[in-house]
Amino acid sequence: MPVGIVGVGNMGGAIATNLLARGWPLRVCDIDASKCRALEDAGAIVFADPAGAAAQSVVVVVCVVSAAQANDVLFGAKGAAGAMQRGQAVMLCPTMSPQDVQNIAQRLQAFGLEAIDAPMSGGPAKAGDGSMSLMVACEQGVFERQAALIQAMSSKVFRISERVGDGARTKLVNNLAAAVNLLGAAEVLAMAEHMGLPLESTLDVIEQSSGQSWIGSDRMRRAIAGDDAPRAHMALLEKDTRLAVDACLQAGFKGPLGALTRDAFSAASAAGFDRHDDAALLRWLRRQA
């Protein structure tokens, strides 16, 4: 069953590598042609535009960053939707607002295409070995028809609901929790540093005590070591926290931490850390002090 992947950056490229290793025939494209070269060597067929990757693909997996990019690769010039046959499916993996996901699904329906709301979490390493989390919302029939692909992509599939948009809602809830935990971890390490405490042993204590969080440990270990190589850009959590707080307000709920966390990531991005790894939140907090 040929699969198209539009956007083969960190996550999309890792998903492609995983599927190729499992024997899936892939048709790929990316605005950065260099990202396709290694996949071509591994057996993928590379196309210059989304329409080429989508033609003859039973499912097209969209792995771009934003709703604007998703709309462009699907409905823009040489977009994927116009090249697909009725009854085929589009899997939407970017972190987007629930309304954007629903709007895209409605536009796909006009082409006779099925929408799978399937944001992902876990990072490139887990996407590459098929162990990332996949939050799936779509009609049951669509889910059953594409079950083989979904299971090949992820060993941690969470079947959220049949309402497209609920995958996006779940992802925003998760990412806001991650951002709150990361901000807390960076703040307490900056605090420990000002108290004259050694950061390595302080984090050792936190990791074995009630303050532990996976993202705090993962990011702060890198920050302490001075490892600035970007795995997840600050700008992504800046976007995700903004979308999460907006969705929260639309649902009629306002919590005490969401807006504070959103504003912290916004300020860090505006201070020039937007293209840095989000572990650089510790460096930003040091500047504030």
Which tokens in the block code for residue 139? 């009609």
Give Cα 216 distance to the centre of its chain: 18
**H-helix or E-strand spanning residue 216:** helix 214-225
Catalytic residue among 126, 171, 239, 254: 171
Tokens 């025939």 — which residue?
A: 25
Q: Whole-model pTM?
A: 0.93
Tokens 């996901």 — which residue?
A: 101
| Catalytic-residue membership of 35 | no
Tokens 């699904």 — which residue?
A: 105
Residues 194 and 198: their CA atoms lie apart, in Å, by 10
Show me where the domains of the chain are located. Answer: 3-164, 169-288
Asked if 40 and 18 count as a contact pair (C-beta separation under 8 A), the reply is no
Q: Is the dihedral of CA 39, 130, 90, 93 positive or negative?
A: negative
pLDDT above 90 (res 234): yes
- pLDDT confidence bin for 185, thresholds 50/70/90: very high
pLDDT above 90 (res 15): yes
pLDDT value of residue 134: 98
- Looking at the domain covering 3-164, what would its CATH class be? alpha beta
pLDDT above 80 (res 289): no
Write down the architecture of domain 169-288 according to CATH: Orthogonal Bundle (1.10)
Write the burial class of residue 273 (CB in 10 Å: 0-12 exposed, 13-18 middle, 19+ buried). buried
